[in-house]
Amino acid sequence: MQNQQLAEIFYEIAAYLEMEEVAFKPYAYQRAALTLETLEEDIEEIYKKGGVKALEELPGIGENIALKIKEYLKTGKIKYYERLKKKTPIDLAEITAVEGLGPKKAKVLYQKLGIKNLKDLEKAAKAHKIAPLFGFDETTEKNILEGIAFLKKSKGRFLLAEILLETEEILERLKKLKEIDQISMAGSLRRMKETIGDVDILVTTKNPGKVMDFFVSLPGVIKIWGKGNTKSSVRMEQGFDVDLRVVQKKSYGAALQYFTGSKEHNIHLRKIAMDKGLKLNEYGLFRGAKMVAGKTEEEIYKYLKMVCPPPELREDKGEIEACLKNNLPKLVEMKDIKGDLHCHCDWDAGENTILEMARTAMGLGYQYIGISSHTKFLRIERGLNESQLGQQRKEIDKLNRRIKNQESRIKILQGAETNILKDGSIDIKDKALKKLDYAIAGIHSSFKMDKQKMTERLIKAMKNPFIKIIAHPTGRILKRRDEYQIDFDQILRVAKQTKTILEINAFPVRLDLSDQNVRRTKEAGVKMIINTDSHQKDQMRFMNLGVAQARRGWAEKKDIINTQPLEKLLKYLK
Ligand code: DGT
Ligand code: CA
Ligand code: CA
């Protein structure tokens, strides 16, 4: 699939155009990029089937952009993009990846200091050349250096969502090969970690040669690092690497256990084995030379007198002790989820109508969906004011009556994703909040505040009796922006007092709360909700990422509010 590469080119074109200060056009390319990113079908297939006309039917794609997609599919290039790159020869993607640096600032940095890439930028910031520049002060310089440090930390790691979808495709192709008997993902991907270094796949087969030939010639492979009968390693065009290992059938469970990791879990488990006079490695569990278990993971853990922990827990954070005592939590599951309360629609910056979002929720088997449009402070997201929220209320009531007549069971709730302003107040009047089924509040501005002030800001919002849910509570953006500074223990104490629910935002770049924070929230007895923050109906399927995050934080069904049926949920939100 070339959807992602095309999306990235469009984002870059948008950034170049923003730099040139062209009006409107950047937005058109951003919209097209978003469509491509969330499209389930292969863009090439759509073009092959229906030509440019079919491309134009996609949301946000007009004739001009459709022709550029065609050009890319045919020639692998977009001339317009090449021209833009030539005109300003800087690595725009790299520079604008630094939090706080947009295309316009990048242009000033290039013109005044000749900064072309991250290396130039870091040098200039360290030499204090940036602070004296027009439009930049000393905090900007400090923020730039912090931003660069953060990028370095997450370099070479990929978002779970992008890797998961691509790997599922690879697994589908491999499964069609009749020579393969057993197959599984392993590594951090099986543990559903929020970012992934590389992909690990295990198979059993009687014909490794054939399997490896097939593997290294999969579509999308751009480099073969190594090819052998037990291990091959390739790079995919999206930039990540995949390791495929062939293991023996009798060792499949041992290998799966070993290569699922984490390393820390394995080291601890090996010690448990050693204490019992056993030896554990990727081939099996051994007493002397005799193999006592290895065919399945379960039999290995069972032999060690433990239950087998779900992969999401294998981080050596207490799961081994819990497995030994047989008191693992019963983790929340995807099938427990009864609705999604953080969804945008075309009233604000979303792509789809309320009805389209509700139909998608029905398709997912939900009992309810909450429409939570942005509110007025957030102009770029086309936030609604009090009177527009009132109009939306009427529309939702009408749709609920219509849906009821059609005997369907979904209930549409009206929420709103309000903004917590700098002083902790909410950008919508209480009188209007009161008419909603529930109100969410989130921080969408001034992220760099002193820790105590930021904590007070959030606390004030939680104390507003109409605010029930805090969206993406720590504000992080994976690979881009760290959490803002807050005293999380204090937040938890107030959340408990005020019965405020903390969100586990499942949007791929957020996954906020983090796994550690989920665990702390659960331990503090504060309830959570898993929401997708969808801006487009297809994004609602990312619920599974939020569920995985909840599981990694040891959350059970009872900790998660949207596992409750509608009546109970409403009671909680009252
Ligand atoms: P990643 O790829 O950085 O997202 O993380 P993982 O966990 O997938 O790590 P990776 O791909 O290096 O190795 C896969 C698994 O193999 C890892 O989770 C545990 C196991 N493993 C790798 N190296 C070691 C090691 O030195 N000791 C032990 N006990 N296990 C290891
Ligand atoms: Ca890995
Ligand atoms: Ca690996």
Is the same domain home to 567 and 477?
Answer: yes
441 forms bridges with which residues in the sheet? 418, 470
pLDDT at 301: 98
Asked whether the beta carbons of 466 and 434 are under 8 A apart, the reply is yes
Q: Mean pLDDT, to the nearest integer, of 536-543?
A: 95
Domain boundary among 324, 352, 374: 324
Among 159, 188, 191, residue to substitute to test ligand 1 (most atoms within 8 Å of Cβ): 188
Ligand 2 midpoint to CA 194 (Å): 12
Find, among 56, 53, 151, the residue nearest to 100 by Cα. Answer: 151
Same domain, 312 and 400: no
Average pLDDT, the chain: 93
Mean pLDDT of 365-387: 91
In terms of residue numbers, what domain contains 226? 158-246
**Atom of ligand 1 lying closest to residue 265 CA:** 29
Q: Which residues line ligand 1 (CB under 6 A)?
A: 187-188, 193, 196-198, 200, 258-259, 261-263, 266-267
Residue of the CA atom closest to atom 5 of ligand 1: 188
> Is residue 295 in some structural domain?
yes
What pLDDT does residue 265 have? 98
pLDDT at 560: 98
- Predicted confidence (pLDDT) at residue 508 exceeds the cutoff of 70: yes
Mean pLDDT of 420-433: 95
pLDDT per residue as tens digits for the range 183-213 = 999 999 999 999 999 999 999 999 999 999 9
292 and 275 housed in the same domain: yes
Q: What are phi and psi of 249, to 5 degrees?
A: -55, -40
Same domain for 180 and 229? yes
Within this chain, do residues 350 and 314 fall inside the same structural domain, yes or no?
A: no
Residue ranges with CB less than 5 Å from ion ligand 2? 187-188, 198, 200
Question: Do 200 and 187 form a contact (C-beta atoms < 8 A)?
Answer: yes
Same domain, 87 and 143: yes
Domain assignment present for residue 368? The answer is yes
Tell me the C-alpha distance between 153 and 160, whole Å. Answer: 16
Residues present in the chain in total = 574
Ligand 2 geometric centre to CA of 199 (Å)? 5
pLDDT of residue 92: 87
Region of residue 271 (left: phi > 0; alpha: psi -120 to 50; beta: else): alpha
- For residue 173, give the CATH number of its domain: 3.30.460.10
> Which among 225, 246, 267 is the end of a domain?
246
> By the 8 A CB rule, do 293 and 284 touch?
yes
CATH of the domain at 272: 3.30.210.10
Q: What is the mean pLDDT of residues 469-489?
A: 92
- Cα of 20 vs its chain's centroid, Å: 31
Q: Which ligand is nearest to the CA of 245?
A: 3
Q: Are 291 and 250 in contact (CB under 8 A)?
A: yes
80 exposure class (CB count in 10 Å sphere: 0-12, 13-18, 19+): middle
CB-CB contact of 186 with 231 (8 Å): no
Q: What is the pLDDT of residues 238-286, one digit of tens each?
A: 889 999 999 999 999 999 999 999 999 999 999 999 999 999 999 999 9
Q: Is residue 329 part of a domain?
A: no
CA distance linking residue 548 with residue 334, whole number of Å:
9
Q: How confident is the model at residue 100 (pLDDT cuts 50, 70, 90)?
A: confident
Taking a C-beta distance cutoff of 8 angstroms, is the pair 70, 55 a contact?
yes
Mean pLDDT across 421-432: 94
Burial of 177 from C-beta contacts in 10 A (0-12 / 13-18 / 19+): middle
pLDDT at 384 over 80: yes
In a domain, 172, yes or no: yes
Ligand nearest to the CA of 263: 1
Alpha-carbon distances, residue 207 vs 178, 211, 227, 371 (angstroms): 10, 7, 14, 52
**Single-letter amino acid code for the residue at 37:** E
Element (H, E) at 158: strand 158-159
Task: Supply the pTM of this predicted model.
Answer: 0.84
Q: Measuring from atom 31 of ligand 1, which residue has the nearest CA?
A: 263
* Mean pLDDT within 314-319: 98
Distance 229 CA to ligand 1 centre (A): 20
- CA–CA separation, 467 vs 464, rounded Å? 6
Specify whether 56 is located in the same domain as 70.
yes
Contact 35, 60 (CB under 8 A): yes
Give the CATH number for residue 140: 1.10.150.110
Residue 23 has pLDDT above 80, yes or no: no
Total domains in the chain come to: 4
What is each CA distance from 435 to 387, 416, 428, 432, 574, in whole angstroms?
11, 11, 12, 5, 11
Give the percent of the chain with pLDDT over 70.
99
Of all residues in the chain, the percent with pLDDT exceeding 90 is 76
Unique residue bearing structure tokens 């579509």: 219
CA 200 to ligand 1: nearest atom: 11
CA of 282 to the centre of ligand 1 (A): 12
d(CA 492, CA 526): 7
Work out the average pLDDT over 541-545: 96
Going from the Cα of 198 to the center of ligand 1, the distance in angstroms, rounded, reads 10
CA nearest ligand 1 atom 19, residue: 261
Q: Is residue 432 part of a domain?
A: yes
**CA-angle at 472, arms to 466 and 478, nearest 5°:** 170
Q: How far is CA 17 from CA 24, 25, 92, 235, in A?
A: 9, 7, 11, 32
Name which of 54-63, 367-376, 497-506 the model is least confident about: 54-63
Q: Is residue 102 part of a domain?
A: yes
Backbone angles phi, psi at 130, to 5 degrees: -85, -40
Structural tokens at position 66: 């459709």
If asked whether residues 16 and 107 sit together in one domain, one would say yes
Please state whether beta strands 231-236 and 284-287 pair in parallel, antiparallel, or not at all (unpaired). Answer: unpaired
CB-CB contact of 515 with 549 (8 Å): yes
Statement to judge: residues 150 and 199 lie in one domain: no
Are 228 and 257 in a shared domain?
no
Nearest CA to ligand 1 atom 8: 187
Per-residue pLDDT band at 134 (split at 50, 70, 90): low
Per the rule left: phi > 0, alpha: psi between -120 and 50, beta: everything else, 424 is left
